[in-house]
Structure 1
């Protein structure tokens, strides 16, 4: 039985761990198969406050982990197979620990960027392949980049990248975009954006150190082409890591956890959500950390409120 359990060790989960540990709520932090979240796939992080010279993504996560441990957070490796939020204490079935219980739970399992699953993609993450223009666009000043996607996110990322890149080529596998008309028009009016429809990415090309281009198949002719580029940005959506919840909590149509506006409260009292698992808009390390702080404070308030209720009941029953 634990007072609080945190699922996930990205910026949201680790920030929640720091706050809960300092509040003497002795959090158990469950690390999944990829401790540190998406930042472990990032090289230089230059937009996280407090690091004037920047910091490597994995290093930032390790610093935050050590900080949480210093205040008493306990870490365990394990994959949550199922949860039972129907009554308290909440029950979690973990592959390495069996069934464990908690008075409050913070869900910070993040969201995974959709990948193309083509050769050269995974090994070049951080070497020119990116899933976040806001995070990495600065590194491509005066360089050619490619954006893969056809939705609003792709249009937004392409427009953002024109602030830095000399040329942005948008590649989409269909003949028509899925993006809203207003987002399409903004991109079409940008002289730095070039369009390649009916192209399916086949392979990310590199010289062994950095990306050099993208090989695609022309869906109309079946011929292969190579577009030279210094970076390839994937803008084909994110998948929230919520499958294990199996409808135990309210989510939207894409699986992102719903929270009460202005809080991290879910529809289950005592269960809170922070970070990218409930944020489909910003998806930044600093915003994830902010909601991790909110979740810890919401959890502390919830637990403290229960203590007050128990204390009041004891008095009414004549107990001291």
Structure 2
């Protein structure tokens, strides 16, 4: 007899994937996690400090990610380094071809590859990332209490971030390169009504200036705007290119799945930032992973009972 097919293959080793692995092992499933980077723990590793994960205020993002991973390893989750290149279902099993040609298979898949933040691609952005330049107001906004922050973007995420920061910061600059915002009219009206939010329309940021940390924004019309913190809110790109043929994503590329993680495809679940939802945080990613793993375990148990 050949080697038994693993119960669950998890694509992605961020908080969603690692939590899914923990819950799946606790349900006695055999689990394999595919990680793009060796000992990767997702975008959380890029956060210098996390202040909103319950019970662990002020923990470093790298440290928190390592704790997730250590827990998964302790539970017996196995890891494979590689980048998923193609997914398909064949003869009742899910198969995953890695970019190096290896093919993995499992009875079910949880896809938790996450997203990447869109970048401005201007001088200073990468240099001061984590040192005044951020991509999550809810994660890092508290560091700028009673200080000046800038939010760059014109969609819902940018306006919502500006509103959130208005309750923390002395002043918030909401900077958009166009006249018209894409954000909901109601949110924009609320931002316009906030005394400490200044909206700068038709303003293009050309570079970020600083020494040891970001200190100012320069615009294309040669204005220097002193700020303490900069939040780039110009959208995210879900890592779902390989899912196009499976028809499980919406028009923006996010996996169409509810809070259980279930999709329209049998044995295929979505979890974490890559799923359609309103709030993308470490805690919601972990919750997604737990929900998807529990549902996958239940579905696999029912399938096994039918086969017996």
Measured at CA, do residues 87 and 231 of structure 1 come closer, stay the same or move farther in structure 2, by a change above 3 Å? Answer: farther
Aligned pairs (5 A) from 1:151-190: 151-190=155-194
- The normalised TM-score by structure 1 is 0.91
Equivalent residues in 2 for 1:1-320 (5 A)? 1-33=5-37, 35-51=40-56, 53-85=57-89, 87-96=91-100, 98-208=102-212, 210-218=213-221, 224-259=222-257, 261-311=258-308
Q: CA RMSD in A?
A: 1.5
How far apart are residue 249 of structure 1 and its match? 3.6
Shift of 1:138: 0.7
Structure 1: tracts of 5 or more residues without a match: 219-223, 312-320
Matched length: 303
How much has 1:97 moved relative to structure 2? 5.9
Alignment CA distance shift 1:213-1:86 (3 Å) = farther
Q: Write the deviation string for residues 107-158 of structure 1: whole angstroms up to 9, x where unpaired.
A: 0111211111112112322111111111111110011111001122211110
Return the offset for 1:206: 1.8
In structure 1, the residue corresponding to 2:10 is in which secondary structure? strand
Aligned structure 1 segments of 4 or more residues deviating by more than 2 angstroms:
85-88
The Cα shift of 1:87 comes to: 4.8
TM-score by length of 2: 0.94
2-structure distance, mates of 1:96, 1:186: 51
Runs of at least 5 residues in structure 2 that lack an aligned partner in the other structure: none
Q: Which of these two proteins has the greater Rg computed from alpha carbons?
A: 1
1:179-221 deviation line (CA, Å, top 9, x unaligned): 222111101000101122222111121212x210111113xxx
Is contact 1:250-1:266 (8 Å) kept? yes
**Deviation of 1:225 (Å):** 1.7
Report the alpha carbon displacement of residue 85 of structure 1 after superposing the two structures with TM.
2.9
Q: 1:183 to 1:86 in 2, by over 3 A?
A: farther
